[in-house]
Amino acid sequence: MNTDKSPLKSALQAIAAQVEQAMQAELQEHLAAADPLLKEVLHYSLFSGGKRIRPVLCVISARACGRDDSALYSLAAALEYLHTATLMHDDVIDHAPLRRGRETTVERFSLADAILAGDWLHARSLYLVGRLTAAAGLEVFCRATEGLANGEFLQKRLAGDPAATEADYFEVIRQKTGNLIASACALGALYAGARPEQVAALRRYGELVGMAFQIVDDLLDYTGKGAETGKELGNDFREGKLTLPLLRALAAAGPDERQAMRALIAGDRSQPAAVTQMTVCIAHLGGFRSAAATAREYIARAVQELSGLLAAPASAAHAALLQELAEYILIREK
């Protein structure tokens, strides 16, 4: 798919633009009396060229269930607020200097600025979700945010541990990525007053898409182009994250290869040579190919969840857009 000229890209850009307008209006109103530095940090963090996947999925899910109005974009903005807050806090935890090709918030400003601005975004997102989707939506949203924190603790505990399993990996990405994207779809459906079976199907679609999205992210960390991803390649390995490509390679390795890979994991991972050696090992043992196949399986299952919506004339066009977006995740380069 040539996304530069595709109807998918045009549709996503149009939705993202509406979400950005909602965020700009939100900030203008609710930061009128705020400290100038808070305003600066929030604008720097929110408008840095992100993909807006979560708010876009919220909007399309609501449209597929029959509702599209101005308040929907405030709900979608809440999802971008939370996502941005988690990225800011992740960068604090990881001591990351770059995100999306430029300085992270913590690098540009300070540790305190990044934490406090992230807290503001988290609080504002909770307010908006509660106001627009009531208790049912707030329960979905809070469970997702609880999962984010728990997933981060689990990932931290497993860092650099060659005994980490695929089950550990999938639990981390389900809690950190799958849950939040699932909540975006479910909240859009709840906002639209969808039937319980529609909410459940869109939630499952979102979780499966989120899992695939993270697997592709983990592949790009080794095989992407730095200029496209905006991040230095090999960051996951340097931080001790045993992602699916590496785990699949370890499972396929013979005793000598496994020993060599474990030595790299236990050694000085900051050395460029260590990243290069691990990348070569993963490629040789089919880790990239195997992880990509798993991402395809998740996307196929996600698309199956849309079957009911695709069959409904009023929802078919929006469901088809969700399907196309899911399939695009497999070929994205950033």
Q: What is the CATH number of the domain that holds 105?
A: 1.10.600.10
- State the pLDDT at residue 227: 46
State CA 56 to chain mean position distance.
12
Total number of domains in the chain = 1
Lowest mean pLDDT among 112-121, 223-232, 295-304: 223-232
Looking at residue 43, the DSSP 8-state letter turns out to be: H
Within-domain flag for 316: yes
Chain-centroid distance, C-alpha 202: 16
Q: Does residue 2 fall inside a structural domain? A: no
Query: Per-residue pLDDT averaged across 59-69, rounded?
Result: 98
Asked if residue 262 is part of any domain, the answer here is: yes
pLDDT tens per residue, range 157-178: 999 998 999 999 999 999 999 9
In-domain check, residue 1: no
> Does residue 208 sit within a domain?
yes
pLDDT at 228: 52
- Give the mean pLDDT of the chain: 94
In the predicted structure, residue 1 carries a pLDDT above the cut 60: no
Q: How deeply is 219 buried, as exposed, middle or buried, from its count of CB atoms within 10 A (0-12, 13-18, 19+)?
A: buried
Evaluate whether residue 334 is within a structural domain.
no
Neighbours of 263 (CB within 10 A): 12
| Residue 321, pLDDT above cutoff 70 | yes
Q: Which domain holds residue 285?
A: 7-329
Secondary structure letter of residue 268 according to DSSP: -
Over range 107-127, report the average pLDDT.
97
Of 49, 333, 301, 53, the closest CA to residue 216 belongs to: 333
Give me 225's structure tokens: 């182009």
